[in-house]
Structure 1
Amino acid sequence: MWLGSESVDKTVGKPVGNKFVNMMKLSVGTENVDQLIAWQQHRAELSPGGQYYHQTRMWPKRVDEILNGGSIYWVIKGEISARQRIIRFDEKIGNDGIRRCGIVLDHEVVPTVNTLRRPFQGWRYLAPEDAPADLPKGRDQEEPLPEELNRALAEIGLL
């Protein structure tokens, strides 16, 4: 599992010891991690500077902790399936004049061990100890387990 450290770049966030927190967000309409990556790459091409950001209405209150090494964990079809490091938060003003939060994300999408999550609205904080582990390199290329077996193993805590 990826952990924060004291050596955080000061332009990214104010270090607060080794303490950090993650975010969790549903990736609505996404079928798999590859589709998430393709969609983000397309959006980044349309964005000034080619940097992808996810826009949300609410600003997190724990910004310093998130920027101290936190990631956003993507829930795809009821399972946490991937994460991305959060680089910064940008203010975005919509055509309606409403201030929103742009969560600027690292380009690398890291597949994780699939972990079941119930549906929720918006985003949620995710403590490091509750975050699923990254898949070892190359494991994302393996044939996935059948969905029913994967869910059954996750429900009894083996995945």
Structure 2
Amino acid sequence: LAAWQEKKRVQTEDGFPRHVTRMWPKREPEILNGGSIFWVIKGVIQCRQKILRLDETSGADGVRRCAIVLDPKIIRVQGSLKRPFQGWRYLAPQDAPADLPEGRDHEEP
């Protein structure tokens, strides 16, 4: 994830990593008020990144898209089994996996 986000093509003009999606989130104010994107890697939620802002962008086809601009710091979380999904997931704070303490690189789900 970190290596992918260091590539220029996935960064905004100001150097922040971004994830582009087709749909604009319906709950934008909630997301921008301390929300994070949780990354499912190999069937496990393994980390999260804070969402800084949402930028409008368009692809080569001219279709409007949402660029989720992320804090570059990747925060490891307690592993939680999760099938890959498309679309928005809104996790209530009590349903979100807990952050791992600094220095812990791995936790089995």
Fold-level similarity (TM above 0.5): yes
Letter in 2 for 1:110: I
What is the CA distance between 1:44 and its match in structure 2? 6.5
The AA in structure 2 aligned to 1:103 is I
**1:136 aligned to 88, 97, 101, which one?**
101
C-alpha separation between the residues in 2 aligned to 1:113 and 1:43? 29
In structure 1, give the amino acid aligned to 2:100.
L
Structure 1 residues 119 and 45: CA distance shift in structure 2, 3 A = closer
Gaps in structure 1 of 5+ consecutive residues? 1-35, 155-159
Residue of structure 2 in register with 1:48 after alignment: 13
Can you list the C-alpha shifts for 1:51-70, whole angstroms capped at 9, x where unaligned? 21100001111010111111
Q: Cα 1:103–1:116, aligned 2, differ >3 Å: closer, same or farther?
A: same
1:89-122 residue CA offsets vs partner (Å, 9 max, x unmatched): 0000111110000000001000111000023223
Q: For residues 47 and 90 of structure 1, what CA distance do their matches in structure 2 show?
A: 9
- Look up the SS of the partner of 1:123 in the other structure: coil
1:115 aligns with 2:80: yes
- Larger helix proportion of the pair: 1
User: Which residues of structure 2 form unaligned runs of 5+?
Assistant: none
* TM-score using structure 2 length: 0.90
The structure richer in strand per residue is: 2
Rg larger in structure: 1
Aligned CA distance change for structure 1 residues 116 and 128 (closer, same or farther; 3 Å): same
Aligned length: 109
Cα 1:43–1:124, aligned 2, differ >3 Å: closer, same or farther? farther
Q: Secondary structure at the match of 2:55?
A: strand
Instruction: Find the aligned partners of 1:103 and 1:45 in 2 and give their Cα distance.
Output: 11
Q: What do you get for the CA RMSD once the two structures are aligned?
A: 1.8
Structure 1 residues 126 and 46: alpha-carbon distance in aligned structure 2, compared to 1, 3 A threshold:
closer
Percent of paired sites with the same residue: 60
The equivalent of 2:26 in structure 1 is 61
Contact 1:44 1:52 in 2 (8 A): no
Displaced runs of 4+ in structure 1, greater than 3 A? 43-47
TM-score scaled to structure 1, two decimals? Answer: 0.63
